[in-house]
Structure 1
Amino acid sequence: MRIANLAERLVILDADRALDVESASSGRFSSDPQAVYARWGEFTEWAAGQDVSAGNPFDPRVLGPAVPRPPQIFAIGLNYAKHAGESGYAVPENPVVFTKFASSLTGPDVEVTLSGDTVDWEAELVVVIGHGGRDIDEGDGWNRIAGLSVGQDLSDRTVQFWGDPPQFSLGKSRAGFAPVGPAVVTLDEVESKADRDDLSVRCTLSRPDGSTEMLQDGRTRDLIFSIPALVARLSAVVELLPGDLIFTGTPEGVGIGRTPAVYLRPGEVLTTEIEGVGTIVQRFVSED
């Protein structure tokens, strides 16, 4: 199942069709895309019996952030060994955790204003919590996941490295710097197409001159802290809540790790694809 936020309404997607949940359930479930996680088990049981192909055609450009108002957003830094190396850091012994503030969330096919000339890309698998809690055992980690989505941890490196030590969260929370979508894909849907523990994560840049470049090409099997491990390690400190997001980290290939460093420019288009989950697109424009 693929659930999404279509013009601020909760829908279930099937190819080019969208089934409006509030209408199809005769009001049993709210139109609010965020509210569904508090009733996740009840919702998935109901949704399993729906004919989504009976939904209406939709414009993908109207899709909003798949999870629009998460209670908490956790972002994991340096969670691939080669990315840690290109960033000049040792492989961490514990998860490196920061946040992307919720006001930075945006949809999967959007125009993003560059805040300057040091905006970087970071393709990431995003995890959505279905059943939260504290002190969750790693072996139970996958059972707490509502689904997976595609994200970009866009980063203003100037703001990120304002001081010493650096502070991450503000530089990663400009308007539009947290695109997530196009849908939240349940694990059974992912597993019908791929291995949930070994998903391809790819990021491609298209330039105004028509040239393209594969910027990142990684696999989630190379995560230092796996998804179940992140659920366990985070919940050992904080309570995970239904609808929380976890940006799980980015593979090697970011702009700041290149010599010389390379950053996004107006007119460029970034396409991020995760196997079995989906594709998101950002078109970049200048502040002017």
Structure 2
Amino acid sequence: MHIFGIDKRTRTIKLATAAAVTATALTAGGVAISANPAKAAVRSCSAGTPATQRPVLEYRDVGSCVTELQRRLISHGISVTGGADGSFGPGTVTAVKRFQQVRRLHVDGIVGQVTWSTLVGTASSGAGGTYRTTRCGNNGNKVLLVFDDASPSMRGYRNLVATAKANNIGIAVAPNGNAVRAGRADPAYARANGMLVVDHTYDHKDLTRLSSSQIQWEITQPYVRSNYVRPPYGAYNARVSSVLARNGKYNCMWNLDPRDWDGKSAWSAANYIVRNASAGSTVVVHLNHMGATASTLPYIKKGLANRGLTMCAPWSGPTREHMPPTYC
């Protein structure tokens, strides 16, 4: 900072004031935010504005570009307190930092060129990808098995996860919240082993038959804690989708169903997967059906390999509650 044409006393006062402002921080919701005595900038842009032409945004900015930022965050599965209200408040700072952390960017809560580019899908760095509902985080050419509902026991649940890990297979587990509460599923154990954890709601009710507030309750209970949600029975409509989006949740569906729940043996379902899966298949199976026979996993992996197909691999480190749009 250069100051000319003022006396020494005035310069000392201004420098001291600047230092005090720089050192001051506001804390809201556990987020430390640098104070800025200047009036918040008013920004303007549209959804079609290229990332390279979007302004740097930070705490206290307002306007249509902030609204666009908040909408982008929500579309990436990041919850924004207050929604897309056009005001860069503490909730948006938290959301930006969470997005930067998930996408492995520099975490500072400021939306610069790299963060903007990642939000609009033009950046090559970070764990990226466009979310596709029927793929549930499987954005490559691999095969992903998603086990939902509830295991008969914690022992069976842990055995499934451990078997997947031992065979370098990445799976998704989607337990109901009431199963976690009852001690028949452990999301933390799956995450520690690099698996994707999906919330299958608390009570396994048909969400299309519930009110918006009831849907909200089902997907926000503190047991599974995931920004991926699998609606029970695969039942969803525009209203369900709206509630999911408002809460920063990805809808985790599938594109291959061996119907392991329909009186089939675990091995019959496994053979169906081996015969019918293709690159990019996301398979719906169940913790209380095929998932109760963990030895089907290496069998499926070998069978798919014989057809030139690869299963997803677990993350090398723990997965998180708030996941990016790509698991594998």
**Common topology (TM > 0.5):** no
- TM-score normalised according to structure 2 size: 0.24
Larger RCO, structure (CA 8 Å, separation 6 or more)? 1
Larger helix share, 1 or 2? 2
